[in-house]
Amino acid sequence: MSGGATGDWVRPGTLYVCASPIGNLGDVTLRLLEVLRQAGYILAEDTRRTRRLLSAHGLRGRVISCHEHNETQRAGQVLRWLAAGEVVALVTDAGTPGLADPGARLVGRVAAAGWPVVPVPGPSAALAALSVAGIPASRILIEGFLPRERERRRQRIAAWHRWDGVVVFFEAPHRLAAVLEDLQELLPDAYLVVAREMTKRHEEILRGRVARLAPVLQAAPPRGEYTLVLAPPGVAVPPDRPAPGEGAGTAGAGGGPGPDEEAGLHPRPALSWTDPGHLRENRSGNRPVRAVEGPEGWEGTGKAAGAGVASPSDGRPAGDDRPATGSVPEEPVPLAGPEEPWQQEAVPPDPGRLAVEVAQRVAAGLAPSAAAREVARRYGLSRSRVYRAYLDAAGSGRPPSDTT
């Protein structure tokens, strides 16, 4: 293992649980880079993603797959590596291991065996969204992903009415509409902040009462990663921003100058959830920019069901090639074959096509489970569903192909 004065704190025989960037590779920490530099083994949810992170920062390492399907079995190897004095780093595709990501079972085994487990904190989709929500929160409930079954999901949402803190949860794009429908019916007066594609080029943050915000979100196909922060009724929240024509002192209010304008100040325009040409916040310092006419303003990447997990399909709206100011450019994962029409649709492809895409990635050298996860992330599906489609096709005696 390499050393040096700057890395003397990295101890042999230790498992380091490492938070990695949730999108923008520039969000890496110096401490993470030092652990990755000295690690004898780097456990990765997706080896290709982790190698891309290493490459972006001029590092190399022995990257070993460790995901939800094999982390329990991998624990035995990790214990042997630690006994041999190795430094072991655990990372996931994006964000913090163990928080809506694999890693908890492996950490539990290592800790139970008496080996030191050290956190290397950093990016987290839940905390990043909470930090920009503007909601004072002394109590935080992190729900992760809500149940897929409608009744169980509605029971969970209804229980939030009695919670006197903030709720943070994640949602896949293909389930977003159903969740918004439940929120409108059960908690219409709750205050909601929706963070989409955080730290990426097309980051957007929308906020407002559920009854006003949900219709805006439902008016366009969902794209990308979603982290939602909700304050139930009764929790102190910022006032709703007025729609055009409501109140004074806001852009387009039409009610004469407000106090700030009379003082020579120019307040930023209000974001309106009822105006078709509503303002949206983007990633360049979250400055408001005028969205295109109508719901098409809510566009971005196709993604995936992971908590704060970077999408392997980083498709961008046609014609939008604006650089992300002050950031490390994102490197999109190459897809197998040309972009298909369904990438622009909310409806996922059929099982046969899912099996084809997994098979293409396996043929390119990716492990089947990792290939299934990549395809699942691309379409916002569960990995088990994609993996099952692949296994069903393989079990039929007819290997998946573009002609089947």
Per-residue pLDDT at 88: 97
Residues 379 and 249 reside in one and the same domain? no
Residues 133 and 108 reside in one and the same domain? no
Structural domain total, the chain: 3
3-state SS, residue 339? coil
pLDDT tens, residue by residue, 46-92: 999 999 999 999 999 999 999 988 888 899 999 999 999 999 999 99
Residues 291 and 247 reside in one and the same domain? yes
The CATH number of residue 16's host domain is 3.40.1010.10
Residue 304 lies in a domain: no
Following CA atoms 351, 352, 358, 359 in sequence, which dihedral angle do they give, to the nearest 10 degrees? Answer: 160
Stated as kind and residue range, the H or E segment containing 210 is helix 210-218
Residue 402 lies in a domain: no
Residues 185 and 229 reside in one and the same domain? yes
Residues 27 and 54 reside in one and the same domain? yes
Of residues 390 and 246, more confidently modeled: 390
Q: Domain ends where: 123, 152, 174?
A: 123
Residue 26 lies in a domain: yes
Residues 113 and 153 reside in one and the same domain? no
Q: In which band, very low, low, confident or very high, does the pLDDT at 380 lie, cut at 50, 70 and 90?
A: confident
Residue 400 lies in a domain: no
**Residue entry with tokens 């730290």:** 199
Residue 334 lies in a domain: no
Residues 93 and 203 reside in one and the same domain? no
Residues 109 and 132 reside in one and the same domain? no
Residue 311 lies in a domain: no
Residues 6+ apart with CB under 8 A from 96: 17, 19, 121, 122, 123, 124, 308
pLDDT tens, residue by residue, 145-183: 999 999 999 999 999 999 999 999 999 999 999 999 999
Stated as kind and residue range, the H or E segment containing 140 is strand 140-145
Q: Which residues of 225-263 are buried (b: 16+ CB within 10 A; e: fewer)?
A: bbbbbbbbeebebeebbbbbebeebbeebeeeeeeeeee
Q: Is the pLDDT of residue 398 over 80?
A: no
Residues 277 and 355 reside in one and the same domain? no
- Extract the tokens encoding 294: 């109508």
Residues 87 and 34 reside in one and the same domain? yes
pTM to 2 decimal places: 0.60
Residues 6+ apart with CB under 8 A from 68: 102, 383
Residue 373 lies in a domain: yes
Residue 284 lies in a domain: yes
Per-residue pLDDT at 13: 96
Q: How far is CA 160 from the centre of its chain?
A: 23
Beta-strand ranges (E) seen in 164-273 are 166-171, 191-196, 204-209, 226-231
Residues 74 and 183 reside in one and the same domain? no
pLDDT tens, residue by residue, 100-131: 788 899 999 999 999 999 999 999 999 999 99
- Residue-range definition of the domain harbouring residue 349: 341-395
Residues 28 and 94 reside in one and the same domain? yes
